[in-house]
């Protein structure tokens, strides 16, 4: 806001800015809430509501008569310079581009068509993010959008409120992080949508933002946790992502990542829980799809030394049965060699030793060669088999670090335990098809257990603290990235599990955003317009129900019978569920399919293979084969205890997914949820292509229309009277520090709103329930938050300054003052009389309160601000401009207030309500400085000499403190002279040498002035160089 940049402290002003009338008891001071200057009552207008872009909401504010003319449209403010008023700009020619609205709650009419149109307008303008209240809608652009995820953009969202910036995943991350710190409650971000809608990218941007903006504790532990958070993405993507028809980098597993934070916001630990790895992809992929990325990465990254060490020939993806079935080996958007190097770096971050890395690569290659094993019928005995290609068997055995005979026996036989004779086991030979089935099952089991091992290594480095003390002290942010809803040509057991998970997540969304919304209004006795919506609990019960049993329960029952088959399972479904309105099974003679009417649409499932996949059994012979390996890594993947005493029945895959999702839902229910709903604009992964029918289908099943209607019909904010009162009581003098009715919290809430002239809002905007206050428009909360921050911030700064001044910095400033005195004394420089005994403070521009300047400096690494002040900088013509000089432990920064482009380029981030911004005009690293030059008289001029660059002429009132502080960071030569040669910048390619000379004059202004023609600096007489400040005066100043 303009007034924030130009705000003039009233204590520094003695007369009206406009009429110059002196202020006194009768002629009071009035701050203009637009330009920040101080005026008398005659030069100030009555209170009026300012336009929204000035940031004051609907609260009437006092402004000066000059700014009143600006508001009335007679002039406009030129924010590049203070107090300047220029003619209004000419109106832009041509039609205005309609970019839609940021928040669809604010649309004039709400229909499915208007939602589609709004998303289309924004998509066509490369604006992929839109809000529905606090729910973020993301449309996958299938292309790179400049600056959408740049570091500058990321830092722009730091410490901002949702109404200040355009919709973005960074804002959802900022809100969740800020709410965690402020409300001390766990947060979760649920990312949902179809495969290819951009969920993985959204998850990565969330984790990137949190890792960058979270606590700044300068210790190894916090830094390591951040590295693990960031590097876990390429590692998990390598082993868990693959190219599908719909997405080149599709997550083929579900992931819930929790990060644990201290009260100050520093990451302390975390954990990753994985769900539903698509094991079937290991052995088969459809056309135009690939296996998991790691297989292609290893082949691309294989060096001759690795080949010799692993004992394998030169290989290509086409060499392996598990990779060549789909005829897809390369992806235009994926660089497998680069990704392999990133994977190796990520393994190092996870403290996976080089030995374990080699063991992992050997096991991945072993799985590939397993797929190349072929079998033939044995000539010795009927219905038996043997390995046909012994050379491949030898390679598998070498990579598996096991005897080839053990490998062969493990694949062509299975071990069965007798049900009659206790402890009796039999070895049953397998025919060719049985051996191929066992081979594929073993490959899937090896890869699945290897993936679990990778997740375990990441969790060891995250090291979540799980105890009663941690539960009280720490809070978490969880990010859920899981499969989207899937409908393929052939949908099997995996698709049923995936779609079941999405049904449960949709149920959470309904309960927490739609159903709970309406139920709360009823319980609080608030008038409410009932909104009809589809509650998908009936679909969830169809799949996971117990009484009556659902599909998964019936599948488990069928698998418990020795004669249970896919056919008997389908018969049981037809018998028990045929009357269910969301289930359909065709007559027995037609086929093996059944249909479920999901919230996202009807899906036809093929029951073929359901029983085997649900049993998820690994033969004892294969477990024993894993235990015989000489590789410690492989041995660790098979922790099972085999023996006759182990009678516990194994759990089914359906039971496991139900249990794990129930735990996930329970954990999510304990958190404050945030939602990102991802939409795929087309099925062909094309940029600038918007399929209306496809998007409409997603809008319907994601419930966006109902979500907008509920939010429009309801109240944007609601909270307990006690919570509201204690949070905002500071904004009113009648409630802070004490309130006349300390137990009547509703009356306190009314008084708070009344003090800000908000109680006069229509009854439809503010409602008082039984225990809560309801506010319809979020703008009212924005006003309250701003007013609260303005009240609280000075208290916080006052407390900080107390400790800095009286506890931590008394000695520091004393030593700093003495150091500055010695520097000037050694150079024989006269001292200015008016500032000779002033107190040092380091910060003269409220840098500690300016989050924008802090964010800019943070981009350059570990810079720490030591000194900040307003200065004048002179150019080659002797004219000067105002700048902010900030000295850090690594560089000197010069900042300017610059004007934003009113017509930003397409795709550039928007900044509503912000016409100016802070920009760097020059950054000088301390290593690049060759020295400083000063005159010997009582002036404020100094010259910064830069090696191989032009110099800087600076006028700084607090130069003594600047040089004393600089000495702490780096020893740089300081020269005192009566004449100074300055290498001034003339243009981009030329420079010219100017000579500054100094003279003393009684009538010269304090601090001196520079003649632009002669570069002669005139300054009034000062004290002698040997004069020292009195100790008594110094102490009084600090007091």
Q: Is 834 known to be catalytic?
A: no
Query: Reading across the β-sheet that carries 1009-1010, which strands appear in turn?
Result: 979-985, 991-1000, 1016-1019, 1009-1010
State the Cα–Cα distance between residues 879 and 988, nearest whole angstrom: 18
| Listed residue (704, 657, 656) closest to 679, CA to CA | 704
H helices of 40-168, in order, are 65-71, 112-124, 151-156
Question: Is the distance from CB of 492 to CB of 605 less than 8 angstroms?
Answer: yes
251 an active-site residue? Answer: yes
Question: Among 55, 196, 240, 269, which one carries the catalytic annotation?
Answer: 196
Q: What is the DSSP letter of 595?
A: E
Structure-token match 């009314």, residue found: 750
Residue among 176, 247, 476, 965 flagged as catalytic? 247
Q: Write a three-state SS string for 862-918.
A: CCCEEEEEEEEEECCCCCEEEEEEEEECCEEEEEEEEECCCCCCCCCCCCCCCCEEE
Residues in CB range of 587: below 8 A, 6 or more apart: none
Does residue 472 sit in helix, strand or coil? helix
CB 716 within 8 A of CB 765: no
Give the residue carrying structure tokens 């940021």: 102
Q: Which of 251, 558, 614, 1019 is catalytic?
A: 251
Which residue among the candidates 193, 371, 484, 654 is catalytic per the annotation?
484
Question: What 8-state DSSP symbol labels residue 514?
Answer: I
**Helix 620-627 crosses helix 432-462 at what angle (to 10 degrees)?**
50
**In the annotation, is 280 catalytic?**
no
The Cα 822–Cα 976 span in angstroms is 13
How would DSSP label each residue in 205-266?
HHHHHHHHHS----SHHHHHHHHHHHHHHHHHHHHHEE--SS-TTEE-SEEEEEEEE-TTS-
Contact 943, 953 (CB under 8 A): yes
* β-strand partners of 718: 774
Catalytic residue among 250, 459, 755, 888: 250
Q: Do 92 and 119 meet the contact criterion of CB atoms below 8 Å apart?
A: no
The yes-or-no answer on residue 760 being catalytic is no
Left (φ > 0), alpha (ψ -120 to 50) or beta: where does 724 sit? alpha
Active-site residue flag, 997:
no
Annotated catalytic residue, options 79, 186, 200, 536: 200
Give me the phi and psi of 39, to 5 degrees please. Answer: -130, 165
Cα–Cα dist 670/270, whole Å: 17
- Decide: residue 873, CB within 10 A, 0-12 exposed, 13-18 middle, 19+ buried: buried
Confirm if 863 and 869 have CB atoms less than 8 A apart. Answer: no
Q: For the CA atoms of the chain, what is the radius of gyration?
A: 35
Tokens 């990235």 belong to residue:
481
3-class SS at 945?
strand
Helix axes 220-240, 293-301, angle to 10 degrees: 100
Catalytic site includes residue 94: no
Take residue 738 and report the two structure tokens written for it. 């004490």
Q: What is the DSSP letter of 106?
A: G
> Is 196 in the active site?
yes
Closest among 320, 312, 394 to 361, alpha carbons compared = 312
Q: Is 484 a catalytic residue?
A: yes
Dihedral pair phi/psi, residue 268, rounded to 5°: -115, -20
Q: Which of 44, 169, 186, 195 is catalytic?
A: 195
**Catalytically annotated residue among 194, 237, 258, 486:** 486
User: Residue 38 pairs with which residues in a beta bridge?
Assistant: 31
Give catalytic residues, as residue numbers: 195-196, 200, 247, 250-251, 484, 486
């Amino acid at each position: 806001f303009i007034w924030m940049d130009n705000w003039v402290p009233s204590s520094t002003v003695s007369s009206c800015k406009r009429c110059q009338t002196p202020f006194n008891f009768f002629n009071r001071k009035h701050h203009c809430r637009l330009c920040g200057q101080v005026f008398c009552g005659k030069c100030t207008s009555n209170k009026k509501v300012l336009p929204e872009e000035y940031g004051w909401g609907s609260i009437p504010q006092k402004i000066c008569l000059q700014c009143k003319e600006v508001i009335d449209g007679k002039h406009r403010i030129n924010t590049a310079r203070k107090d300047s008023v220029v003619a209004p700009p000419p109106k832009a020619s041509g039609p205005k581009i309609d970019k839609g609205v940021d928040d669809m709650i604010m649309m004039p009419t709400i229909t499915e068509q208007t939602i589609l149109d709004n998303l289309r307008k924004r998509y066509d303008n490369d604006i992929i993010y839109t809000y529905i209240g606090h729910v973020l809608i993301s449309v996958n652009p299938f292309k790179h959008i400049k600056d959408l995820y740049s570091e500058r953009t990321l830092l722009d969202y730091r410490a901002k409120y949702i109404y200040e910036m355009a919709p973005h995943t960074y804002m959802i991350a900022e809100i969740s992080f800020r709410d965690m710190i402020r409300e001390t409650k766990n947060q979760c971000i649920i990312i949902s949508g179809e495969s290819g809608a951009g969920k993985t990218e959204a998850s990565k941007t969330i984790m990137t933002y949190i890792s960058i903006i979270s606590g700044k504790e300068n210790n190894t532990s916090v830094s390591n946790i951040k590295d693990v958070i960031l590097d876990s993405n390429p590692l998990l993507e390598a082993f868990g992502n693959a190219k599908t028809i719909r997405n080149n980098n599709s997550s083929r597993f579900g992931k819930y990542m929790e990060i644990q934070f201290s009260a100050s916001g520093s990451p302390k630990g975390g954990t990753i829980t994985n769900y539903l790895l698509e094991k079937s992809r290991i052995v088969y992929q459809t056309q135009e799809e690939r296996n998991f990325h790691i297989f292609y990465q290893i082949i691309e990254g294989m060096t001759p030394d690795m080949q010799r060490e692993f004992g394998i020939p030169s290989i290509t993806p086409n060499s392996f049965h598990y990779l060549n079935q789909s005829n897809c080996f390369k992806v235009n958007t994926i660089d497998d060699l680069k990704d392999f190097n990133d994977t190796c770096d990520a393994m190092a971050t996870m403290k996976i030793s080089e030995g374990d890395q080699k063991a992992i690569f050997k096991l991945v290659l072993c799985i590939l060669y397993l797929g190349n094993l072929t079998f033939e019928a044995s000539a010795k005995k009927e219905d038996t088999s043997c390995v046909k290609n012994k050379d491949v068997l030898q390679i598998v055995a070498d990579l598996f670090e096991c005897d080839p005979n053990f490998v062969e026996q493990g694949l062509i036989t299975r071990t069965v335990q007798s049900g009659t004779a206790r402890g009796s086991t039999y070895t049953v030979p397998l025919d060719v098809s049985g051996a191929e089935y066992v081979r594929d099952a073993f490959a899937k089991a090896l890869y699945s257990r290897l993936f679990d091992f990778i997740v375990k290594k990441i969790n060891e480095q995250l090291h979540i603290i799980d105890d009663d003390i941690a539960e009280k002290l720490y809070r978490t942010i969880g990010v859920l990235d899981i499969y989207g809803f899937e409908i393929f040509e052939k949908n099997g057991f995996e698709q049923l599990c995936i779609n079941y998970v999405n049904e449960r997540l949709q149920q959470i969304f309904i309960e927490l955003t739609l159903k709970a919304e309406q139920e709360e209004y009823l319980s609080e006795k608030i008038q409410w317009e009932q909104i009809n919506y589809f509650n998908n609990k009936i679909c969830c019960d169809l799949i996971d129900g117990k009484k009556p049993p659902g599909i998964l329960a019936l599948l488990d029952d069928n698998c418990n019978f020795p004669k249970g088959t896919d056919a008997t399972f389908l018969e049981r479904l037809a018998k028990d569920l045929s009357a269910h309105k969301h289930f359909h099974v065709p007559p027995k003679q037609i086929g093996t399919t059944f249909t479920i009417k999901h919230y996202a649409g009807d899906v036809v499932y093929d029951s073929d293979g359901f029983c085997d996949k649900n049993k998820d059994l690994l033969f004892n012979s294969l477990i024993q084969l894993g235990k015989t390996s000489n590789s410690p890594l492989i041995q660790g993947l098979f922790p099972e205890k085999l023996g006759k005493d182990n009678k516990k029945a194994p759990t089914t895959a359906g039971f496991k997914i139900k249990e794990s999702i129930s735990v996930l839902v329970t954990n999510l229910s304990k958190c404050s949820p945030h939602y990102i709903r991802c939409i795929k604009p087309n099925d062909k992964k094309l940029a600038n292509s918007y399929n209306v029918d496809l998007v409409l289908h997603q809008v319907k099943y994601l419930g966006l229309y109902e979500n907008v209607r509920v939010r429009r019909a309801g109240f944007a904010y609601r909270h307990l009277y006690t919570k509201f009162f204690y949070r905002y009581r500071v904004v009113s003098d009648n409630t802070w520090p004490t309130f006349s009715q300390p137990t009547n919290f509703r009356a306190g809430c009314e008084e708070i709103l009344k003090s800000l002239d908000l109680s006069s809002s229509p009854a439809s905007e503010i409602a008082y329930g039984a225990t809560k206050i309801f506010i319809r428009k979020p703008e009212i909360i924005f006003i309250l938050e701003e007013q609260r921050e303005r009240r609280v911030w000075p208290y916080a700064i006052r407390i900080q300054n107390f400790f800095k001044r009286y506890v931590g910095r008394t000695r520091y400033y004393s030593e700093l003052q003495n150091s500055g005195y010695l520097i000037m004394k050694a150079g024989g420089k006269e001292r200015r009389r008016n500032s000779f005994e002033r107190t040092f403070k380091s910060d003269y521009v409220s840098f500690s309160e300016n989050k924008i300047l802090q964010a800019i400096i943070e981009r350059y690494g570990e810079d720490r601000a030591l000194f900040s002040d307003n200065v004048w900088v002179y150019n080659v013509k002797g004219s000067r401009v105002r700048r902010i000089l900030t000295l850090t432990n690594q560089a000197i920064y010069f900042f300017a207030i610059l004007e934003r482009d009113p017509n930003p380029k397409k795709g550039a981030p928007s900044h509503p309500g912000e016409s100016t911004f802070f920009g760097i005009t020059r950054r000088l690293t301390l290593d690049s400085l060759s020295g400083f030059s000063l005159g010997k008289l009582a002036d404020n001029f100094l010259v910064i000499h830069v090696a191989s660059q032009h110099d800087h002429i600076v006028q700084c009132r607090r130069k003594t403190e600047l040089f004393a502080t600089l000495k702490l960071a780096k020893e740089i030569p300081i020269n005192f002279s009566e004449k100074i040669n300055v290498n001034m910048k003339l243009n981009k390619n030329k420079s010219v040498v100017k000579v500054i000379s100094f003279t003393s004059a009684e009538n010269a202004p304090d601090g001196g002035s520079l003649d632009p023609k002669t570069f002669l600096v005139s300054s009034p007489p000062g004290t002698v160089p040997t004069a020292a400040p009195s100790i008594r005066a110094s102490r009084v100043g600090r007091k």
